[in-house]
Amino acid sequence: MGVFPLARRAPLDFLLDCARRYGDIVSMRLGVHRTYLVSHPDHVKRVLQDNAGAYAKGPPATRVRALFGDSLTVVDGDRWQRRRRQVLPAFQPGQHAFFTAVVARASAEMLERWRPLSEGGEPIDVAGKMRRLAQTIIIRSVFGEEISSDEIQAVAQALDGVVAHLDAQRIV
């Protein structure tokens, strides 16, 4: 199984420890697959932007295609290029204000919910809360700022259910 059990138990801790111990590019075995952790921003840019055609997503991406469709996360080559051109307008400088507002609002709301816990000295499950924050940002970015908290909660629970189902099948 390689490092898979350790990586699943505490993925963020595992990846941070790998980068600290072994440097900006780390090779590891996850099951039967050779995987690389690329952590330096210049290297990430090279892989994702400057030389993306040289890096295939491979069989693991195929297994999650039912969940992600033909999204940038799972396709390669010409299909990846077409998808990237389709989403590029969302990442133009004029769009940054919208995303900044979404991130700022969701972060402020999260911190406001944390305030009573902090003042009461209660522990906070930061990993779980950050996952929920990321979901809220994604959901508001896709569905708009007007989406209610109840609707965000419903979509987030549905996403959790899908991920749990895939996790049970060891797909993700």
The pLDDT of residue 172 is: 44
What's the predicted TM-score (pTM) here? 0.54
Do 47 and 100 fall into the same domain?
no
Specify whether the CB–CB gap between 109 and 126 falls below 8 A: no
d(CA 112, CA 120): 13
Radius of gyration of the chain (CA): 18
Residue of higher predicted confidence among 14 and 43: 43
Specify whether the CB–CB gap between 50 and 61 falls below 8 A: no
Q: Does 52 have pLDDT greater than 70?
A: yes
The pLDDT of residue 23 is: 96
Do 98 and 149 fall into the same domain?
yes
Residue of higher predicted confidence among 148 and 4: 148
Range among 7-11, 73-77, 82-86, 130-134 with highest mean pLDDT value: 130-134
Task: Kindly indicate the confidence band of residue 2, based on its pLDDT and cuts at 50, 70 and 90.
Answer: low
Do 6 and 23 fall into the same domain?
yes
Q: Does 1 have pLDDT greater than 60?
A: no
Do 171 and 107 fall into the same domain?
yes
Do 108 and 172 fall into the same domain?
yes
Do 99 and 172 fall into the same domain?
yes
Q: How many C-beta neighbours within 10 Å does residue 16 have?
A: 13
Do 67 and 36 fall into the same domain?
no
34 token code pair: 């050779």
What are the C-alpha distances in Å from 114 to residues 84, 136, 139? 37, 16, 21
